[in-house]
């Protein structure tokens, strides 16, 4: 991992070549006259312990994306209250050799839905595709924000059920359901009454990826808003747009969660508009 020693901050993932976090975060660092200390590094999940040991000695901060948000947990010294509840970490802060873990995905989704659709999360009926690390943090944010109902659809129903059980303990007011992504009948019924569909699986990162669900079900709700956490055109976004639905990709989520990470690392107010412009570079 010697190739990363020129940076103080990194985003890691597998894959990570697509990430625009460096240009976004470096815009914020440059705004404060702190240079461009942020880079990216592909890390095999089997080597996450080795990476954290390296970070402990060489870095000041890290962002984590797929598939590291949960596998990193055993290697973190201290978790923020939100990260501990969510059991998901997307931000590390390193001080005096100690590694602190945070989750800013919740702040990201709240900012993104407000920015893209002009909506607060409170009282919405939501269908979420996925139950991984980012989905976990997002689900808790939805519950804590007073979302009326949340249906979690996942390839593994057991994983979706486990996530709903966690949310019940910390946000008992939200109506919860867990279904299989392949259960066309139940997914269709949930989409029919939903205000918002969140796509939070990793499907769509690669051009050859299939859609995460039967896209024909989108025709059931002409008022549905679709948000995909991936920040380039995906099958679900393309089809939703063809149907005339409101759609948005994950760029605003990345910007707002990145802003929260920047503030954790530096103690300075994140220049969100500067970060937004940095994100757009080389698009």
Read off the tokens for 71: 């596998």
CA distance 144 to 82: 11
CA distance 15 to 70: 16
Using alpha carbons only, what angle is made at residue 240 by residues 238 and 241, rounded to the nearest 5 degrees? 65
Active-site residue, 69 included: yes
Label residues 40-64 b or e (16+ Cβ within 10 Å = b): bbebeeeebeebbebbbeebbbbbb
Residue in 40, 60, 69, 186 annotated catalytic: 69
Read off the tokens for 47: 């080597």
Read off the tokens for 2: 């010697």
Of residues 273, 252, 249, 274, the one with CA closest to residue 107: 252
Please list the active-site residues. 69
């Amino acid at each position: 991992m010697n190739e990363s020693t020129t940076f103080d901050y990194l985003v890691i993932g597998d894959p990570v070549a697509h990430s625009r976090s460096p240009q976004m975060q470096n815009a914020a660092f440059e705004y404060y006259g702190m240079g461009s200390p942020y880079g990216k590094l592909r890390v095999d999940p089997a080597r996450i312990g080795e990476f954290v040991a390296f970070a402990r000695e060489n870095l000041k901060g890290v962002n984590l994306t797929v598939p590291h948000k949960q596998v990193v947990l055993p290697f973190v010294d201290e978790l923020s209250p939100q990260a501990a509840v969510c059991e998901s970490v997307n931000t590390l802060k390193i001080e005096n050799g100690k590694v602190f873990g945070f989750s800013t995905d919740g702040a990201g989704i709240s900012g993104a839905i407000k920015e893209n659709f002009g909506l607060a999360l409170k009282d919405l009926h939501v269908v979420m595709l996925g139950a991984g690390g980012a989905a976990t943090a997002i689900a808790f944010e939805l519950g804590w924000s007073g979302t009326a109902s949340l249906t979690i659809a996942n390839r593994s129903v057991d994983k979706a059920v486990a996530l709903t059980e966690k949310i019940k303990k910390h946000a008992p007011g939200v109506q919860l359901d867990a279904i299989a992504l392949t259960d066309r009948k139940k997914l269709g019924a949930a989409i029919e009454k939903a205000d918002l569909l969140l796509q939070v699986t990793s499907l769509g990162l690669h051009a050859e990826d299939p859609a995460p669900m039967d896209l024909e079900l989108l025709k059931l709700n002409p008022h549905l808003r679709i948000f995909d956490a991936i920040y380039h055109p995906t099958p679900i976004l393309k089809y939703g747009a063809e149907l005339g639905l409101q759609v948005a990709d994950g760029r605003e989520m990345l910007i707002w969660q990145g802003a929260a990470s920047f503030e954790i690392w530096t103690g300075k107010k994140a220049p969100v508009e500067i970060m937004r412009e940095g994100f757009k570079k080389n698009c």
